Amino acid sequence: MIKHLRLPQLSWRFIPVWQRNYLVWKKLAIPSLLGNLADPMLYMLGLGYGLGSLMPDVAGMPYITFLAAGTVAYSTMNAATFEVLYSSFSRMHVQRTWDAIMNAPLTLDDVMLGELTWAVAKSLLSGVAILAVIWGLGLYGHFWMTLWIIPVVALVGFCFGGLGLVMNAVSPSYDFFLYYFSLVITPMVLLCGVFFPVSQLPLPVQAVSAWLPLTHAIDLARPLVVGNVPDDIVLHVVALLIYGSVGYVIALALTRKRLLK
C-alpha cells in the first residue's frame, strides 16, 4: 500500500464521472429520494413527537428539536456512506464501470474524485431535505443561522464519503459492508448524541465520543438549528476535514493497489 500512497491528482476530468452518476440518479430520482429520506424522517417525527411528549426539554430544547438537529447529521452521514459503499462498489466491482471509464483519458484519481463529490451531492440532498422539514415545522431558532447547516452538511458528506471509500477499496463483496455498519456507523449513532445528549454517557465513553466524527458534525449542526453560534468551530471543521482527507488518501492508495495491477 505504501507504494501507492501519494496525494490525489486533482483534475477537472472528474466532472463526467459525477455527471454520469447524476444522470443515472435522475432516472429514479423520486423513489431514490423517498428511499433516502423516508427512514430518517419517520424516526425523527415518530420518536420526536412520540417520545418527546413524555419528556421535559432535552439540553434546553424540545426533544423534537434536539432530535431533528441530530437527524440532519445522521442522515447526511448515512447518505454519503451508502453511496460510497453499495453504489460505488456496484460501479467499481460488479458493473466494472470504473474500468470502462479508465480506458478513456480518465485516471483512477478522477473516478474516485467523481465518486467522492457525488457522495457529497447526495449528502447535501439528504441533509437539505431534513432541513426543509425543520423549516416547515418551525423547529429552528434563527432562519439565517440555519443556512450555515448547508455547508456543514457538505463537509459531513465529504468526511463520511472519504472514510467509506476505504471500506469500498477493501471489500470483497456487499456482505462485507455489514461489518462497517455494525462496528462503526451504528455505534456512532448511539455514542455521538443523535438521540440523547452525550453527557448522559459514562465519562470514559464520553471521552471516546469526543473523538468520533459524527460528534463533531452534531456539535456544529445542533447549535445552528437552535440559533446559537457553535463552540470550537475550527476544531470541529478541522476534525471533519482530517477524517475525510486521511480516509480519502488511504482509500485512493488501497484502490490503486486493488485495480491498477
Could you list the residues that contact other proteins (CB under 8 A)?
Answer: 13, 16-17, 19-20, 23-24, 27, 95-97, 99-107, 260-261
CA separation for the pair 185, 180 (Å, rounded): 6
Residue 10's Cβ-count burial label (10 Å; 0-12, 13-18, 19+) is: exposed
Q: At what angle do helices 29-50 and 15-27 cross, to 10 degrees?
A: 80
Minimal distance, residue 99 CB to other proteins, in Å:
5
The answer to whether 17 touches 111, Cβ cutoff 8 Å, is yes
DSSP string, 18-68: HHHHHHHHHHTHHHHHHHHHHHHHHHHHHHHHHTGGGS--BTTB-HHHHHH
Closest to other proteins by CB, 55 vs 260, is 260
Closest to other proteins by CB, 13 vs 122, is 13
Closest to other proteins by CB, 13 vs 216, is 13
Closest to other proteins by CB, 42 vs 260, is 260
Minimal distance, residue 127 CB to other proteins, in Å:
25
Closest to other proteins by CB, 169 vs 218, is 169
Residue 74's Cβ-count burial label (10 Å; 0-12, 13-18, 19+) is: buried
Minimal distance, residue 95 CB to other proteins, in Å:
6
Closest to other proteins by CB, 105 vs 136, is 105
Minimal distance, residue 249 CB to other proteins, in Å:
20
DSSP string, 68-87: HHHHHHHHHHHHHHHIIIII
Minimal distance, residue 116 CB to other proteins, in Å:
18
The 3-state DSSP class for residue 30 equals helix
- Cell 488511504 sits at which residue? 250
Minimal distance, residue 39 CB to other proteins, in Å:
23
Minimal distance, residue 26 CB to other proteins, in Å:
11
CA separation for the pair 60, 131 (Å, rounded): 20
Closest to other proteins by CB, 94 vs 207, is 94
Tell me which residue of 63, 62, 61, 58 sits closest to 199, measured CA to CA: 58
